Amino acid sequence: MKKISVLFVCLGNICRSPAAEAIFISLLEKKGLTDGFIVDSAGTGSWHIGKRADSRMRIAAERRDINILSKARQITSEDFEEFNYIIAMDDSNFRNIQDFKNRTASAGFASIKKIQDFRSVFNEQEVPDPYFGGNEGFDYVLDILEDSVNGFLESIS
């Protein structure tokens, strides 16, 4: 059976998208579905390539027994070939992903979606970037992502 591949994308790949990736992996583990998926995260920007997720996000996630292990990378043209789903955290990154896909020679088959299209509890249209705010912003982003990432998994399983 072919694995379902999912790439979560935000701006720098150190807050929202690695958190979404880790939440998704945690949900897969709880449901016994890890063997059926390939999961990763990336950023549309290149500022943080190779760095671990923001320590404030890692700490907030650890309090929920979610381990963020990924290192930042930038989205590539190959991602449109390798992933079934590319999931944007906000409208700006959604547009950046679509623009990048349109500029690549091999546009691939990836379905580009917004994570908040799968929300059920929160009204936010976008996942806010907590980077320049206080610690409570990281907890709020995790709340939002736990809701919408769960909705996304339900929509594809």
Task: Give 5: exposed, middle or buried? Use CB within 10 Å, 0-12, 13-18, 19+.
Answer: middle
For tokens 């020679």, name the residue.
Answer: 105
| Residue 129 among the catalytic residues | yes
Q: Is residue 56 flagged as an active site residue?
A: no
* Residues 126, 115: Cα–Cα separation, whole Å: 8
3-class secondary structure, 112: strand
Catalytic residue among 10, 58, 90, 139: 10
Catalytic residue among 16, 56, 58, 119: 16
- The rounded Cα 77 to chain-centroid distance in angstroms is 17
The question of whether 15 is a catalytic residue gets the answer: no
Q: Going by C-beta distance under 8 Å and a sequence separation of 6 or more, which residues neighbour residue 17?
A: 8, 9, 10, 41, 42, 43, 89
Question: Which listed residue (40, 54, 90, 129) is catalytic?
Answer: 129
| Residues classed as catalytic | 10, 16, 129
